[in-house]
Amino acid sequence: MFRNKRNVFIAATLLACVFDAEFAVAQKKADSYPTKPIRLIVPFAEGGAPGLVSRRPVRGEGAQAAGFHTVALNASQAYPTKPIRLIVPFAPGGGTDIVARVMAQKLTEALGESVVVDNRAGGGGTIGVETAVRAAPDGYTLAMVSGSYATNAALFKLPYDPVNDITPISLIGESGFMVVLNPSVPAKSIPELIALAKAKPNSLNFGSTGTGGITHLATELFEIMTGVKMTHVPYKGTGPALVDLMGGQVQVLFGSLPSMMPQVKTGKIRGIAVTTAKRVGAAPDMPTVGESVPGYEAILWYACWGPKGLAKDIVTRWNKEIAKAINTREMKERMAGEGLEPAGGPPEQFRDVLRRDVPKWIKVVKEANVKTIQ
């Protein structure tokens, strides 16, 4: 094609000059390319085109002056370049799973790569959490957790530190639980439930997302403050517990609002109260437990974090995109309809929540004499 070496060097030089323009055109299609230096091979000795080609690497200001700044994209600018795994440490169908899937859709749109929900149930959430904790801190394995994450420190001898072995990213939303009953239970309010439970101690079964999980401890807190006794039936997530509640195997459940609301609206289960300090917009006519049991409150939150050592720029990117997502009108309306208030805030705000909740639930575990798992 070329008749002499000089023409080859001239062609190579011209090709290098147009790369910058070509990359700009291709940016939308392949934003991540290139992520490392590119080698342009000329099959002849140096000097075929004096003054036009140099073998000396072009870097720094010289690179920008030569028009090679686009080629010098670093890894953080390229992130993400492949699908991201968002671990949910519970079975599908529960509140954490619902929130994770809504957020995964929004973040997929924002990041340009698929955010895939990976349900890893078991151990009250510890199995999935440990998977995320042990993952490489490269931004491709993150976790979506709920308030149960904080309660596990009160129950289990954990192989990780729930506060210091993670990189906090952002709170997602805050809510409470809804106290729901199987329709066969005659009680239609908290006072009636208390009276029924006191009249027949341990005759009512209550479900939870697992021993020591936040739904379990929220119910134990209710028992401590009211003096009632019910029989605990643990499950591997809200979904299975909800199925058995509707089937009558359990009669009481303190369940997350996102997963309880649809079934309450259809009449498959009966909602009698919420555990937040104030009534929630999703069910404004439903009283709080605290209206009948002064001082009672159990808050559920959802949050996202990554393994310890996650790069600051990746944390910042996710925190920013989460804030954008949860503050859109669409997300606010959707979250409000499921009993959630957008949270957000800087990463350290989530760590402060952990520092508050971990000791709180440790106290409940001790007072309720919940058997810890070593």
| Residue 249 Cα distances to 50, 143, 243, 332, angstroms | 86, 32, 9, 35
| Residue 142 Cα distances to 116, 129, 133, 169, angstroms | 10, 9, 9, 9
Residue 28: alpha-carbon gap to chain centroid: 28
Q: In this predicted structure, what is the pLDDT of residue 28?
A: 45
Q: In this predicted structure, what is the pLDDT of residue 51?
A: 41
| Mean pLDDT in residue range 295-299 | 91
pLDDT digits (tens, 9 = 90+) for 50-91: 444 444 444 444 444 444 343 334 445 689 999 999 999 999
- pLDDT averaged over every residue in the chain: 83
pLDDT digits (tens, 9 = 90+) for 104-135: 999 999 999 999 999 999 887 899 999 999 99
All domains in the chain, ordered by first residue = 5-77 (no CATH), 82-175+302-368 (3.40.190.150), 176-299 (3.40.190.10)
pLDDT digits (tens, 9 = 90+) for 165-179: 999 999 999 888 999
pLDDT digits (tens, 9 = 90+) for 238-282: 889 999 999 999 999 999 887 898 999 999 999 999 999 889 877
> Which of 275, 213, 268, 212 is closest to 243 using CA atoms?
268
Other beta carbons within 10 Å of 212: 28
pLDDT digits (tens, 9 = 90+) for 23-49: 344 444 445 556 666 665 545 444 444
Phi/psi at 203 (nearest 5 deg)? -80, -20
- The residues, any chain, with a CB within 8 Å of residue 65's CB and separated by 6 or more, are none
Token pair for 162: 């729930």
